[in-house]
Structures are given as structure tokens and as C-alpha cells.
Amino acid sequence: MSRNVFKAGYLPGLNEADVTWHRLNVRTGSTPGMGVDAHPSPLQVDVPQLTTAQMKALAQRVQHASRTHLKTMCVSDIVRVLDKATARLLDASDIYRQQLERLLPQATGFDAEMVRLNLNAYLHTFRGLQLQRFVAEDFANPKVLDEFQPRTQGGWTRAFGPELLVHVWAGNVPALPMWSFVSGLLVKAGSIGKVSSAEPVFATLFAQLLAEVEPLWADCFAVVWWANATDAQTPRDTTRAPDDMPEFANEHTAFALADVVLAYGGNEALQAMQTHIPVTTRFLPHGHKLSLGMVSKAALSVRKGPSVARQAALDVARYDQQGCYSPHVFYVQRGAQLSPQNFAQHLANELAALQHKFPRRVLSLEEAAQVGAWREAHELASLNHDAQRDTEHNSTGLNNTTYTVLGSGRGTSTVVYSDRALPLSAGPLNRCVLVVAVDTLDEVMPLITPQRDYLQTVGLAAAPEELLQLGERLGQAGVTRICALGAMTSPEAGWHHDGRFSLLDLVRMVDIEASTEREAERFTPYEV
């Protein structure tokens, strides 16, 4: 096979020769050792287009194998297998790790060194000790996944994972499928994962590696692809209803067979997806989210402030803000040695420096237009404000605020500073961020509350005595995760994704009530 052709998918029991393959033209990315302006050969990806019969056969095989092998294992043994697989992915000499380092930059466009370093940090989350914490976060007694355990109020309880868990993965961040893939394995679910056209690499290789590490698992999961509303490469006939369109057949088949559907994507795509899911199937969507940073004056001394800006810059630069946990706005408190505007300048300088270390990926025409329009709007607003500063009547909108536009000479990052408190809103991504000055951090809460349905992560730099008070206020506003600046893109093991349980949401709890146990004593051959 050509070096730049990758066959996506993992299809246990199916003969590849009997499968129809569709060629995707994945965007050109960077490769190791190539500069920002280099033009490597584009990665081409072949994805499987299964028939309805093939999808049903695949699902049945996965269900049977997981029932036979996965569900009979202790969760501690599952953790050991996952730890062994993760250790191989952290080994630079391992063939699977080498393929990831080569193919992920080509598939996603992200800088190869950035991918390498972030993979290391990300994969450590899935080592054995971390996975044990992951399970313990949701289950006080992890053995409840293996057998009935006594309840404190009497009786017994047991957690059963789905017979078939269907994952619909997004492709905005490399290796994102690992969260749900591992979660499914920890609850002993047979899994079918649908890869995104934007990043079909990781899940495919991870499935292959797992089957190699533990051959008994070889048929316990599958990786597939089908066209959906987010696959722009696939033309659609808009004159027909989805139910009449053969390209939706695999989606309908998978959802009809699933006990649980776990999906990532845009809100519109998830809403459309939900209409295809039976009412008896549990649907766990993870849609569009907004994240932000907050910097207390306690963190803005002349000595500490620049390092805080450096950590904030890393949160912006990692994967070019494509993750739901990436910041769009930093709210910075006045009254410290380092002013909010000084912080904005330090942030701009750090982003410019990171461009040399981790070059921003090449933008599509649409992305470049969005970034340009965002920057131009703020530059124009700044000029208009200067021209109207002394007039009695000022215009509305952006022109009511004094903006300072900062950024690299090549326009690879943009920091806009606002001297007036502004509500949280989404930016154009791709290393564009707003720094907003506020008098107190409590002032931030009404600015973000209108977005409470979309709030996720807050990167916080504050003194210890401020943490719990701010945490209380942020939780009331709708935030679900608070972390240090520099850690926004690296959730810890067992994090409550969007405020939910990663494992508990997947299982079905079965209780044997105390009355059953008491009554059973009547039927013993001996007298109690």
C-alpha cells in the first residue's frame, strides 16, 4: 500500500475483499521534519461502506464475542490489558506509535511535534493506575462491575454494561475516541465506533493494537464509517427524506441494534442524529461547548504574571483551540502589578513564540476567512473608537469598547484586548483569543451565565482562598470543570465530561432488594 494511503476501519469477521471502499481526500498536514510552509503529499484514506447485512453481521459478532470474552473478565484484568496497550503507544520504538506520529499530522494538519508531545500527556491518562482511579470515581466498589455486591441498606447490586455500545466520534482533536473506547471496555460493552472523516486514524490503529495485545478481544469491537451530515465530502440529495436515503442505512442499523449511543459533534448534527435513535435506546450526546480562562490579580505580579501568560498560551495553541475545552476568552482582573493589557501583550508574545515551536496548521479558505473577518472587525472597531472618542454620541456594538489588536507579524495568532467587560462568545478558533479586563472575578459570572447551556471548562489562576468561592459561583453559572491554566486541554482521569459520569451513564444497575434475601430464608431446608 502507498505510504500516503491509509485503510480505515476494523471489521472482525468481514472479508475486506467483500467490502466496498470509499476514498476520502483528507486535508494536507505537516509531517515530521517539515517546515510550516512545506507541502507534503496529502493523506488519502479508504473507508468501508458496509451493506446493511454486513453491519448486522458485524454487530452480532461483536455482541457475541463481548458476551463470551469481555463480560467474563474482571475489571482489574481489563485495566491490565488497557495499560499494556497504552504502554506500547507510549513507546517511541513501537510500530503503532510510529504510525500515529506519521499519520495523525497528515490527517489533521496539526504540527507533528505538537501531536507527539500531546499524545504523551494524553496517553498517560490511560495507564493502569489512572484507570483504577477512573473506575473508582464512578463506582465506590469497582467489583460491582464483576458480580453482585452488598448494599449498605441491605440487598445486593450489580452494574451491567451495554450489550452493544455505538460510538459516533468527532475528528476535531486527534485521539479523542480513546475516552469513550476505553470507557466502553471498562464496563465490558461490545462496541462499534464510527470514525470521523476528519480523523479516522487513531481508532483504527487502537483497535488493531488491542486485538494484538489481547487476542480474545479481537471480535469484541469494530471501527466503521458512514456518511452523515457533517461529512462535507459526501454529496447529499436534499430532495429526499433521510429514511429514503441509502447513505443513512448503516446509521439506522447501528442505532437500532444499540443499547446506548454515545456521540460527539455539533449541536445540529446531534439533534438530527437523535431523530434516528429508538426511544428505548439511551442517547448520550456531547455537543458544542465553550470554555474560558480567569486570572486573579493574585497571579499577576511582575514575577508570576509572565509564566501565567505562558500557560494560557499553551491552552490556546494546543490543537489550535479545536477542542471543547480550549479557551475563547480570558477575563483578567485589574489592580495588580501586571495590568490586564500587559497580560494580553505577554500572551501575544508567547503565542508568537509558540508559532516557531508548534506552527499553526494550514487553514482552509473558510477558516482563514473567519479569522480574517474577526480580526478586521476588531481593528475597525478600534479605529472607529479612536475617531469618535471625543464625540458626544458613540455608535453601538463593537465600537463602544476600546480594543487593542495584538498578534504575530504573520497573522498566525491574534490577541484582542478589551478594556470593557464583554459577555462570553465563541471566537473563530485557530489561535484567536479575547482578553477582557474586569474589576473583580465575581463580575465575570453574569457575563458567562447566558451561555450556561454551553459552558464547560474554566482555566483558573487564583489564590487558594479564592478557589472554593469562585468554584461555587462558577458551578452555579453552569461550568462543569475547573482546572489550572496550562491544563485546560488535558482533563484528568475520571473527569466528569460535561458534568456527567463517564462510566455510570453507560451501565444499567440491577438491585436485589433486601426483602428478596429475607424471604429466601423461608425456602431453605433448615429452620432459621
| Residue 383 CB contacts under 8 Å (≥ 6 apart), including other chains | none
Query: Can you tell me the mean pLDDT for 294-298?
Result: 98
Burial of 3 (0-12, 13-18, 19+ CB in 10 A): exposed
Task: Please report, as a single letter, which amino acid is at residue 176.
Answer: L
In this predicted structure, the answer to whether residue 384 has a pLDDT above a threshold of 90 is no
Rounded Cα distance between 62 and 223, Å, is 11
Q: So what's the pLDDT on residue 31?
A: 41
In this predicted structure, the answer to whether residue 504 has a pLDDT above a threshold of 50 is yes
Q: So what's the pLDDT on residue 218?
A: 98
Query: Can you tell me the mean pLDDT for 75-100?
Result: 98
Indicate the pLDDT class of residue 24, thresholds 50, 70 and 90.
Answer: confident
| Percent with pLDDT over 70 in the chain | 88
Query: Can you tell me the mean pLDDT for 83-110?
Result: 97
5-36+66-288+499-511: CATH number: 3.40.605.10
Q: So what's the pLDDT on residue 234?
A: 45
Q: Tens digits of per-residue pLDDT, 157-201?
A: 999 999 999 999 999 999 999 999 999 999 999 999 999 999 999
Q: So what's the pLDDT on residue 320?
A: 96
For residue 137, give the 3-state DSSP assignment. Answer: helix
Average pLDDT score, the chain: 90
In this predicted structure, the answer to whether residue 385 has a pLDDT above a threshold of 70 is no
Rounded Cα distance between 12 and 362, Å, is 36
Question: What does the CA dihedral 211, 214, 218, 224 come to, rounded to 10 degrees?
Answer: -40
Q: So what's the pLDDT on residue 229?
A: 53
In this predicted structure, the answer to whether residue 394 has a pLDDT above a threshold of 60 is no
Indicate the pLDDT class of residue 403, thresholds 50, 70 and 90.
Answer: confident
Q: So what's the pLDDT on residue 428?
A: 96
The domains of the chain are located at 5-36+66-288+499-511, 290-495
Q: So what's the pLDDT on residue 4?
A: 75
Pairing of strands 282-286, 290-295: unpaired
Q: Tens digits of per-residue pLDDT, 194-242?
A: 999 999 999 999 999 999 999 999 999 999 999 875 454 444 444 444 4
User: Residue 306, Cβ neighbours under 10 Å: how many?
Assistant: 17
Quote the cell numbers at residue 497.
465530561
Q: Tens digits of per-residue pLDDT, 241-263?
A: 444 445 568 899 999 999 999 99
Distances, alpha carbon 371 to alpha carbons 67, 70, 363, 405, in Å: 50, 47, 9, 13
Task: Please report, as a single letter, which amino acid is at residue 403.
Answer: Y
pLDDT higher for 445 or 399?
445
290-495: CATH number: 3.40.309.10
* Chain CA centroid to CA 469, Å: 28
Q: So what's the pLDDT on residue 410?
A: 67
What one-character DSSP code corresponds to residue 199? B
Query: Can you tell me the mean pLDDT for 475-502?
Result: 93
Q: How does DSSP assign 214-265, residue by residue?
A: -GGGTTSEEEE----TT-TTS---TTS-GGG-GGGHHHHHHHHH-SEEEEES
Q: So what's the pLDDT on residue 84?
A: 98
In this predicted structure, the answer to whether residue 37 has a pLDDT above a threshold of 70 is no
Q: Tens digits of per-residue pLDDT, 279-291?
A: 999 999 999 999 9
Q: So what's the pLDDT on residue 136?
A: 95
pLDDT higher for 403 or 389?
403
Indicate the pLDDT class of residue 402, thresholds 50, 70 and 90.
Answer: confident
* Prediction pTM value: 0.90
Quote the cell numbers at residue 315.
491552552
* Chain CA centroid to CA 61, Å: 29
CA atoms within 13 A on the CB side of 160: 11
pLDDT higher for 233 or 356?
356
Q: So what's the pLDDT on residue 389?
A: 52
How big is the chain, counted in residues? Answer: 528
